[in-house]
Structure 1
Amino acid sequence: MGQSQSSGAPPAPGGCGAPPAGASPLEQGLHTVVDAFYSYAAAPGPGQPPSLSPGAFQQLLRHELSRQLTDTGASEAVTALFALLDANGDRRISFDEYWQLVAWICQVIRHRRYGEAPAAPAAIATTAATAAAAIADAAATASTEMASAQPGDGE
């Protein structure tokens, strides 16, 4: 294992560049995950890295994850999920915080396809009890969905 292979060319503006020629489906998917974040992210100020505002986060959920997450149009559910992921409380979702969401969704897919129990994202362990209470409804929806899904149902 080593560093990521690159063609040496700088990435295209606003993106991480195309996957290398002959990239595997996994490599293509990783590029897609990264590019999705940067398609909605903007720098909040000079010299600051791009991140998602609450509005951009809701747009990303609606347009990119509406088949994986329920209630992406419900502002209460989006606000609760935003609070869960915003580990540093800056009212922005950084790439690292977004990655927690991606990891959680992968855990849910893993559960649905292979029947293994999904692990909670690291953000849940560090979030205050009040934030956990705020997401109880969203978690109940996800639990009901996971309980009704059958392993190996082709999803």
Structure 2
Amino acid sequence: MGQSQGSGAPPAPHSDGGDGGGRPGPPPGASPLERGLHAVVDAFYGYATVPAPGRAPSLSPGAFQRLLHRELSRQLTDTGASEAVAAVFALLDANGDRRISFDEYWQLVAWICQVIRHRRYGEAPAAATAIAATAATAAATIAAAATDTAALARPGDGE
């Protein structure tokens, strides 16, 4: 598992502009990248459950395998093989809690993007440690920016 098999068609946007669960989707006129980012987040939360009161939603091993098989079978090989899925799960489960948090899931997204980049543009994928360091830095920057919700609510600033 872990090899990209090429890209499939992008998911169809939700007709109500959201995820069907009352949460807002991408804004009207969103770019393909913005729609894709919403799809990445929505995919995680579509399979995630809350493991205990007060804990953030996360993926159990079974939910993780369903997500891989249903959402990424064109990007990853062996998504139906329990051993292969368990190996990827173990790599992603950084804190060893037998759950995949959104931050751990994001590592998978980064790895797949690196493989797509390599296959489509011929650039060598970055080492996993470099991806993890970059993702951690990006997450810290985004978390700091998220505290200023007013800044995030003003699309188009800085143009």
Post-superposition CA distance 1:29-60 (Å, at most 9, x none): 00000000000000001111100000000000
The answer on whether the counterparts of 1:85 and 1:100 sit within 8 Å (CA) in structure 2 is yes
- The correspondence of residues 1-12 of structure 1 with structure 2, limited to 5 A, is none
Q: Provide the rounded CA distance (Å) in 1 between the counterparts of 2:24 and 2:130.
A: 29
TM-score (norm 1): 0.69
Letter in 2 for 1:25: P
Letter in 1 for 2:32: P
Q: 1:122 Cα deviation (Å)? A: 3.6
Choose between structure 1 and 2 for higher RCO, CA contacts under 8 A separated by at least 6 residues: 2
Distance 1:87 1:123, change over 3 A: farther
Q: Provide the rounded CA distance (Å) in 2 between the counterparts of 1:15 and 1:113.
A: 36
Q: 1:73 aligns to what?
A: 80
RMSD over aligned Cα atoms: 2.3
Post-superposition CA distance 1:57-76 (Å, at most 9, x none): 00000000000000000000
Post-superposition CA distance 1:92-128 (Å, at most 9, x none): 00000000000000000000000001113349979xx
Q: Is it true that 1:119 corresponds to 2:118 in the alignment?
A: no
Consecutive unaligned residues in structure 2, runs of 5 or more: 1-17, 134-159
The answer on whether the counterparts of 1:84 and 1:124 sit within 8 Å (CA) in structure 2 is no
Q: Provide the rounded CA distance (Å) in 1 between the counterparts of 2:130 and 2:53.
A: 27
Distance 1:81 1:16, change over 3 A: farther
The answer on whether the counterparts of 2:69 and 2:80 sit within 8 Å (CA) in structure 1 is yes
Count of residue correspondences: 116
Q: 1:39 aligns to what?
A: 46
Q: Provide the rounded CA distance (Å) in 2 between the counterparts of 1:62 and 1:71.
A: 8
Q: 1:58 aligns to what?
A: 65
Q: Which runs of 4+ in 1 moved over 4 A?
A: 11-16, 123-126
Consecutive unaligned residues in structure 1, runs of 5 or more: 1-10, 127-155
TM-score (norm 2): 0.67
Q: Provide the rounded CA distance (Å) in 2 between the counterparts of 1:89 and 1:114.
A: 35
Task: State which of 85, 106, 116 in structure 1 corresponds to 2:113.
Answer: 106
Distance 1:85 1:65, change over 3 A: same
